[in-house]
Structure 1
Amino acid sequence: MALLHRAEIRPTKLELLAAWLPGRPWFHGPAGADVVRVAGFRFDDPAGAVGIETILVRVGDGPVHQVPLTYRGAPLEGADGWLVGTTHHSALGPRWVYDACGDPVYAAALAAAILDGAGQAEEFFEVDGRREYRTPSMTITSSGGEVGGAAVGAPRRVLDGDPTIIVTDTVELAVVRRPGAGEARAGGTLSGTWPGQATPLPLAYAAPR
């Protein structure tokens, strides 16, 4: 379960992405155009310490890009190269926002979603002591895999391309940056649908090492 706050965030996530995306090797879009949110989903962090959100965005008339993010209350050691930026959350205070592909908590959550069918987190807003369910803006499904239940371990190597490859001790994960582009890969598959995209498109893959 993801418990959300109706809070002010400065700069916003989309403002952070507008400055960060053009420098990514996998980004395709016009310069200077607004970043628009298309859809998104979240995973649970079992420890409850890290926010894990995947956002689908479009820049101008460019393609849809998949951007997984993690939100932390303190810097992640050794992950400066994956920092998208810092922001201030009116309820939680300073937050460090990372490209989740460089965050071990995301790697474990993604592997669990693909190989164990963990699925996406249910989202709730807390309002006046009550929890209000937020209808998801997209749906994800998993085809499963061959190493369900195996410990993923910390990422040993991350190759920042399209797809972005996350190599751990037991699993190789591939995160598709532009859904619908590129060729299918072997292994378990995480697919998604969202408004305007009724046919499931692969979002990520997981294969044993």
Structure 2
Amino acid sequence: MAVIHRAELRPTKLELLAAWLPGRRWYQGHADADVVRVAAYRFDDPAGAVGIETMLVSAGDGPVHQVPLTYRDAPLDGGDDWLIGTVEHSVLGQRWVYDACGDPVYVAALAGVILTGGGQAEEFLEVDGRLEPRETPTLVSGSGSEGADVPGISEILRVIEDDPTLVVTDSVQLAVVRRLDGGNRLPGAALTGTWNGQPNPMPLAYVSTR
């Protein structure tokens, strides 16, 4: 379950991404193009400590890019290379925002969703102390099966930042598709998604055991 607060962020997520995206080798678009949100989905952190959100964004006439993010209330140990920036959240205070491909909490959540045939977290909006269900047009689904074995992930060994971005751990290897143009079709269990304007399932990520 993901709880969404009615809050102001300074800078906004899109402002952070507008400054960060042009420096990525997999980014395709003009450096000064406005970054626009296309869709988003979230996963649960079982410990309830880390926010996990994947944003799908476009810039100018470029393709839709997939950007998984994690939000933390303190810096990620050893995560300097993956820090996108910090934001001031009007409810939660200062938050550290990371490229989630370098965050073991996201990597474990993604592998689990794919291998067990799971989906995105249910979203609830906090309104006057109450939690109200929040409808989202974005639906993601793993190709695995409920109850499947999910290997434990104790560390990320390396991340190869390309399209797709490869995340190698001690037990699984993941491939996170960055440019959602339908060009990346890989073997292995997959996460696919649909959203407004994309009614046919689009491959988003893959996982294979090592």
Query: How many aligned positions are there?
Result: 208
* Identity score, percent: 65
Counterpart Cα distance in 2 of 1:31 and 1:166: 26
Q: Which amino acid aligns with 1:75?
A: P
Moved more, 61-70 or 128-137: 128-137
- Stretches of 4+ aligned residues off by more than 6 angstroms: none
Q: Name stretches of at least 5 consecutive residues in structure 2 with no aligned partner.
A: none
Alignment-derived partner of residue 117 in structure 2: 117
Counterpart Cα distance in 2 of 1:154 and 1:31: 33
Q: Which amino acid aligns with 2:156?
A: P
Deviations 1:151-186 (A, max 9, x none): 122211111110000111111000000123433111
Counterpart Cα distance in 1 of 2:154 and 2:175: 16
Alignment-derived partner of residue 148 in structure 1: 149
Counterparts of residues 35-114 of structure 1 (less than 5 Å): 35-114=35-114
Normalised TM-score (structure 1): 0.96
Moved more, 176-185 or 48-57: 176-185
Work out whether residues 125 and 134 of structure 2, in 8 Å CA contact, stay in contact via their aligned partners in 1. yes
Secondary structure, in 3 states, of the residue corresponding to 1:117? coil
Work out whether residues 177 and 184 of structure 2, in 8 Å CA contact, stay in contact via their aligned partners in 1. no
Alignment-derived partner of residue 176 in structure 2: 175
Work out whether residues 139 and 195 of structure 2, in 8 Å CA contact, stay in contact via their aligned partners in 1. yes
Q: Which amino acid aligns with 1:98?
A: Y
Work out whether residues 69 and 100 of structure 1, in 8 Å CA contact, stay in contact via their aligned partners in 2. yes
Work out whether residues 192 and 201 of structure 1, in 8 Å CA contact, stay in contact via their aligned partners in 2. yes
Normalised TM-score (structure 2): 0.96
Change (3 A) 1:161 1:123: same
Counterpart Cα distance in 2 of 1:54 and 1:148: 24
Provide the alpha-carbon RMSD of the alignment: 1.2
